Structure 1
Amino acid sequence: MNAQELRDKTPDQLRDELANLKKEAFNLRFQQATGQLENPARLRSVRRDAARVKTILNEQAAKAAE
C-alpha cells in the first residue's frame, strides 16, 4: 500500500482501513505470542501501513482546517 493510493481515498475509507489494520496487527501479535506467526515481517509492514493511514488522515484534517 503506498501513500498515493491512500490519498485517493475518503476519510471514512481511511478510518475503515485503519480499523482493519489495527485488527490485523492484534491478530499478528496474538499469533506471535503463541508461536504461530509464519511471517514476522508482516507485523512490521502492518504497523507501517497503519502509520501511513494516520499520517494521511492528519494531513487531510489539517488541510480541511485551513
Structure 2
Amino acid sequence: MPLPSVEDARQLNDQELADAIVATKRQLFDLRFQKATRQLEREVHQFKHTRHRLAQLMTVQRERQLAALQQDSAANDQINQTDSE
C-alpha cells in the first residue's frame, strides 16, 4: 500500500481537514492500544502510514493558518496605508 499523497489532503475543506486529523489521531491511538494488548499481529507498517498521514494533514492545516494570517496582515497594512494618506 503506497503512502497517501498530500494533494489528497489539500483538496479537503477546513472542516473535512479537521475531521480527518481527529480520525487519524484516533486511528493512531487504536493502533497503539492494539499493540499494547498484543492484538496487532500484522500490518505493523500501519504505524508509519498513519503517522505520515497525520503529518500531512497537520502540515496542510498549518499552511492554511499561515496563509490566513498573511492575508489578515496584508489587509491591515492596506487599511493603515489608506488611513495615513
TM-score by length of 2: 0.73
Give the equivalent residue in structure 2 for 1:7.
Answer: 10
Q: What is the correspondence of 1:1-66 to structure 2 with a 5 Å cutoff?
A: 1-37=4-40, 38-66=42-70
- Who wins on radius of gyration, i.e. which is larger? 2
The number of equivalent residue pairs is 66
Structure 2: give runs of 5+ residues left out of the alignment.
Answer: 71-85
Structure 1: give runs of 5+ residues left out of the alignment.
Answer: none
Query: Root-mean-square deviation (CA), in Å?
Result: 0.8
TM-score by length of 1: 0.93
Identity %: 27
**SS of the residue 1:4 aligns to:** helix
**SS of the residue 1:25 aligns to:** helix
